[in-house]
Amino acid sequence: CRRCSFSSASFRIIKVDAVAGPEGEHSWAKHYPYCGGAFQSPINIKPELLRFDPTLRPVEVQNYNLSPNEQLTLGNNGHSVQISLPSKMYISGLPHRYTAAQLHFHWGSSGRPAGSEHMVNGRQYAAEMHVVHYNSDKYPNMSTAVDKSDGLAVLGVLIEVGEFNPAFEQFLKFINGIKYRDQRVQVPGFNIRALLPARLDEYYRYDGSLTTPPCYPSVLWTVFRNHVTISGKQFVSLATALYSSHAQDSAPVPLNGNYRKPQLADSRVVLVSFKEGKYGLHGILTVTSPLTRKRIVQQLLVGDLADLADEGLYQLLPSGTEKIHAGKNKYHKNQQTETLAKSKQQTLLKKSQTNRSVGKLGLAEDALCYVAMEHKVFQHLKVSHSETQLVQALRDAVFPELNLKSYLDCRSDLALPAIRHILRGRPPTDEALELDRSLTRALKNQRKTFTTIKQSVPVTNSGSLSPATVPRKPHSQGYPHPWLLPMEWED
C-alpha cells in the first residue's frame, strides 16, 4: 500500500508533478486514486444544492487570538503559503472537538485575480483561505486523522480584492523570506480570528475532500457565506512574490493559480445556516430530519420489500416528487398512510436487528480508513491482474459508504448505489434478489445515459461520472423512476 508522507507536527500537502495550477489535475489520479473518486472538493455551491438546516449553530473558534510572544512558522511548501497553528486553537460546536493544525491559501495570478477553489453560484473569488483542523477526540495528530472519514474539519474563507486588510499584513510583510520552496521563517503570533469574516453564523456546510493529493474524502467543509477583502497591493504581493521551485533551481517557476477546479456534486447537498440571501438563494428547501432519514434506512434494512417497491422506495430519490404527490388521489394517500404505519410497526419490532445492521454498514462509531481501503481494493485487483482499474474500483467501494453516512448526516441525497449496498446486506430472498436486479438495471441505464451525453456533462479526473448528474427521464404513470414499478412477484 502506498502510504503518503506527512509531517508529524502538522499536515503537509503532498507535492506531485505539476500540482501547482489547474493543468496538473488530470494526472493526479494516476498516482493518488482518490483524486478520481467520490465526494471530491472543491465544488460550485449552486442554489439547487442548498438545504436550510435550522439546527446549524454559529461556528465557535476558541483561542484564536494569539500573543505576539508565540512564534508561528510561515512556510512555502511549493504549493501554497502555510502557517502552522498551535494546538490550543480549536473549533467547538461540532460532533467532535477539532484542533487547529495549519492554515494556507489558494489564489489566482496578477493578470487573473480569480483563484478561489470554491465557487458560489458560478462566481470565483480572487483567493481562498483554508484553516485546517483534525478530530482530536479520536486521533492523536493530523497525520493519523487525515485519511479517516471523520478526520478533518476545514474552515473556508473567500477573499476578494477591495479594502486593505491589516490582519493579512501580519504575515504578508514576511513573505519575501519564503520566496522559494521549503523556505520557512518565524513570525510573531497575531489574532487569527481577524482573518475570518465578522459573522460566523452564516455558512455553507458539506462533506468533501482534500483539494490536493492524496485527495482523501475526509473533510467536513464549512465555507463562510461572507467574504473578506485584501487590497490590490496585498493580492499582488501574494500572487507575484513566490516560486514553487527551490532557490537552487536554474529556472524559477512562479507560484500562482494554485487552485483546483470544481468537482462533481456526487449526490451531495450543501447545508446552509441561513434562509434568505443573495445569489438567488431565496426559498431554500429545509433539509429532511435525521430521524426521518434513519427511519428510511431502517425500512430498507428490515422493512417489507414489496411495500418498498410499490409505495415507498421512489420517495427516497430527489426527483421533484412533491409535485407528483400533489396530484395523487385520496385512495393512494390512504395506501401510503397504511404502508408507513406498517413500516413503523416493523421498525419497532426489529429495532435491535436494525442497529446491528447499521453497525455492520460502518455507520456507527467506526470511520472509514482510506489507506486501508486502498490497500484492500488494490490487493483484490492484483489477484485478477486489474490494477489499472484501481480508481474506479475504489470509487465503487467507497461511494455507497460515503453516500449513506452523508445521507444520515443530512448532507447527501440517497443514491442508487447506496440503496443497492444496503439491500445487499439482507438475506437473499426472491424479493431481495429481484429488487437487486432492478437496481442493477437502473444503474446500467444510468451508464448508458452517461455515454450519450458525455460531451455535455463534466467528468472526474478518472473519466467516471456521478450518479447525481444523471438527467432523469420524463415521469410515467406517477412514478419518477420507471424501474420502480410494482414488483413482478406481486402477480
Could you tell me if residue 360 is inside a domain?
yes
Is the same domain home to 238 and 304? no
Percent of the chain clearing pLDDT 70 (strictly above): 72
Distance from C-alpha of 61 to C-alpha of 93, rounded to nearest angstrom: 9
pLDDT score for 349: 38
Domain match, 264 and 400 both = no
Contacts of 192 (CB under 8 A, 6+ apart): 61, 64, 65, 66, 85, 89, 103, 131
Chain-centre distance of CA 79, in angstroms?
21
**Pair 54, 159 in one domain:** yes
- Choosing from 258, 286, 314, the residue where a domain stops is 286
242 and 271 in a common domain: yes
Confidence of residue 309 (pLDDT cuts 50, 70, 90): low
Q: Which amino acid is at 92?
A: S
**Among 26, 31, 79, 106, which one carries the catalytic annotation?**
79
Helix, strand, or coil (residue 392): helix
Q: What is the pLDDT of residue 257?
A: 95
Distance CA 1, CA 212 (A): 19
State which of 31-45, 295-309, 373-387 shows the largest mean pLDDT. 31-45
Residue range 195-214: mean pLDDT, rounded: 97
475 is annotated as an active-site residue:
no
Mean pLDDT on 289-293: 89
Nearest-angstrom CA–CA distance, 310 and 426: 19
Helix (H) or strand (E) holding 219, with range, is strand 219-224
pLDDT in tens, 329-367: 333 444 444 444 444 444 433 444 444 445 445 454 578
Residues 356 and 244 in one domain: no
Single residue among 286, 303, 330 that ends a domain in this structure = 286
Quote the mean pLDDT of the chain.
80
Position 233 in a domain: yes
Structural domains in the chain (count): 2
Co-location of 329 and 266 in the same domain: no
Phi, psi dihedrals of residue 220, rounded to the nearest 5°:
-90, 110
Cell 474500483 locates to 393
Grid look-up 447527501 returns 412
Residues 335 and 449 in one domain: yes
Per the structure, the complete domain to which residue 48 belongs is given by: 22-286
Residue 16 located in a structural domain:
no
The 10s digit of each residue's pLDDT in 279-288 is: 445 457 888 8
- In this structure, the answer to whether residues 72 and 40 fall within a common structural domain is yes
Q: Are residues 321 and 191 in the same domain?
A: no
Mean pLDDT, range 430-459, rounded to an integer: 65
Distance CA 46, CA 466 (A): 16
Q: Which of 251, 286, 321 is the last residue of a domain?
A: 286
| Residue predicted with more confidence, 119 or 462 | 119
Evaluate whether 104 touches 83 at the Cβ level (below 8 Å): yes
What pLDDT is recorded for position 295? 86
For residue 85, give the amino acid letter.
L
Residues 6+ away with beta carbon under 8 Å from 440: 420
CATH code assigned at 182: 3.10.200.10
Let me know if residue 9 belongs to a domain: no
Q: Mean pLDDT across the stretch 161-185?
A: 97
Does 1 map to a domain? Answer: no
The CA distance from 363 to 28, in Å, is: 29
Same domain for 300 and 276: no
